Each structure stands twice: as structure tokens, then as C-alpha cells.
């Protein structure tokens, strides 16, 4: 039997009930990263890679970039590695199991992430997410704790003019390292982030 697949840009990715199925909205993150890098080589980390969609699409769009991908879910790591092999990108995309940036050594030119950001208390408002693994989409409190931790980690791990690009509530938010405070400010007032 053929595995279930989903389109993400020009990629056809194998999906799994244990891993979030990528959404086309996230191709906006890929464009943002590719615009930043242009044709330069650079190191990109996709945090919370899931199926590997963003990491693999970035590797395609930025052919001189070295891409890392991390996830706390072993199922996601396995699936992202499978998709990297299927796309012929396993030499340029390194997939590692672990928390946020922990598995990645060194400094990154770009950190990109579509992490869980919805409060678990709002689960019933999103029936369209019923088939997704809960931990891939929802988080405790106001839902933004992981994203805030990533912004704090980016202060230490981004190259001086590096870029952080995030998807939060369907929108893309990006900032270069000297401008990270603007993102911190935005995340301190979640009501400012449209639902
Ligand atoms: C909303 S899904 C997005 C998956 C993928 N980036 C995409 O756009 O299709 C969030 C992913 O973040 C992962 N995740 C959750 N907490 C994490 C953490 N602390 N460190 C790394 N990944 C995490 C989940 O396992 C899940 O695969």
C-alpha cells in the first residue's frame, strides 16, 4: 500500500497520524527564509520540524544553505528523515531529536519555527485540528511559552545579523537579531496577535 502523502510547495511528503500534516500557510516561512539568504550559504535551523516540510522546502529554495531540523517527537524525527531521503536532500538536511535548539551546535544564520502556539483550553474551538497530535499543536497556559523560550534562545544562538522567522496563529513574524525585542514585546501581549 502507498503511504499517505501531502503536498507542501513542490514537495510531496509522507504523512503520519503521529505527526502534524504540514499546511500550505507555512510556505510563507520558507519564502521569508529564502529572501533573507538570497544566494548566500548559511546555516538554517527549523525548530519543531514535524514532517520536515519547512526544512526540506528551505533546502530546495536556498541551495547553498546547510539545514538542521529538530523535534522532541521521535515519530517526527523518523518521518522527517524519511522525507529527506525521498527528496534526495539527506546530505543537506540534518535531523536531530531534542528540545528547541539543544541538538544544534553553534550559531545559526536563520532560525525558523512553526511550534505549537494554541492554548490547550481552546482545543474545542479548532475541530479542524482534531486529527492532529495534541502536543504538536496545543500548549499549556496561553500557548506561547515554547515560542517565548525559542526567542530567548535565539538571542544566544543567532549570528549577529541572523534572522528569526516564526509562524504564530497563522501569521509570519520575523526579526533580525538586533530587533528581537520587538518580537518579545509582541509575545508579551498575545492579544496583539490576531487569532
Ligand atoms: C505545529 S507542529 C509544526 C510541524 C512543522 N513545523 C510544520 O509546519 O508542519 C509543531 C512541532 O513542534 C514540535 N515540538 C513541540 N515542542 C517542541 C520542543 N520543545 N522542541 C522541538 N520541537 C517541539 C512538535 O513535536 C511538532 O512536530
Question: How would you write 15-54 as a 3-class SS string?
Answer: CCCCCCCCCHHHHHHHHHHHHHHCCCCEEEEEECCCCCHH
Q: Is the CB of 47 under 6 A from ligand 1?
A: yes
User: Which atom of ligand 1 is least distant from the CA of 149?
Assistant: 19
Asked if residues 48 and 110 have their Cβ atoms less than 8 Å apart, the reply is no
Q: Is the CB of 76 under 6 A from ligand 1?
A: yes
| Gap from CA of 122 to ligand 1 centroid (Å) | 18
| Gap from CA of 166 to ligand 1 centroid (Å) | 12
pLDDT (tens place) for every residue of the chain, 195 residues total: 889 999 999 999 999 999 999 999 999 999 999 999 998 999 999 999 999 999 999 999 999 999 999 999 999 999 999 999 999 999 999 999 999 999 999 999 999 999 999 999 999 999 999 999 999 999 999 999 999 999 999 999 999 999 999 999 989 999 999 999 999 999 998 776 654
Q: Could you tell me the residue ranges of all domains in the chain?
A: 40-190
CATH architecture of 40-190: 3-Layer(aba) Sandwich (3.40)
pTM here? 0.97
Helices (H), 41-131: 53-61, 74-86
Q: Whose CA is nearest to atom 14 of ligand 1?
A: 48
Backbone angles phi, psi at 42, to 5 degrees: -175, 165
CA triple 69-51-45, angle to 5 deg: 15
Amino acid at each position: 500500500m502507498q503511504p499517505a502523502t501531502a503536498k507542501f510547495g513542490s514537495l510531496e511528503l509522507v504523512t503520519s497520524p503521529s505527526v502534524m500534516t504540514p499546511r500550505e500557510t507555512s510556505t510563507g516561512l520558507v519564502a521569508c527564509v529564502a529572501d533573507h539568504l538570497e544566494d548566500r550559504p548559511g546555516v538554517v535551523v527549523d525548530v519543531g520540524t514535524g514532517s520536515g516540510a519547512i526544512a526540506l522546502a528551505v533546502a530546495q529554495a536556498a541551495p547553498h544553505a546547510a539545514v538542521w531540523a529538530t523535534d522532541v517527537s521521535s515519530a517526527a524525527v523518523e518521518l522527517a528523515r524519511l522525507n529527506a531521503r525521498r527528496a534526495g536532500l539527506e546530505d543537506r538536511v540534518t535531523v536531530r531529536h531534542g528540545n528547541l535548539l539543544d541538538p544544534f551546535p553553534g550559531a545559526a544564520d536563520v532560525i525558523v519555527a512553526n511550534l505549537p502556539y494554541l492554548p490547550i483550553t481552546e482545543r474545542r474551538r479548532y475541530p479542524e485540528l482534531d486529527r492532529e497530535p495534541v502536543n504538536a499543536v496545543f500548549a499549556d497556559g496561553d500557548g506561547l511559552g515554547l515560542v517565548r523560550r525559542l526567542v530567548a534562545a535565539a538571542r544566544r544562538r543567532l549570528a549577529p545579523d541572523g534572522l528569526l522567522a516564526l509562524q504564530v496563529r497563522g501569521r509570519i513574524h520575523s526579526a533580525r537579531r538586533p530587533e528581537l525585542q520587538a518580537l518579545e514585546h509582541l509575545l508579551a501581549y498575545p492579544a496583539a496577535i490576531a487569532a
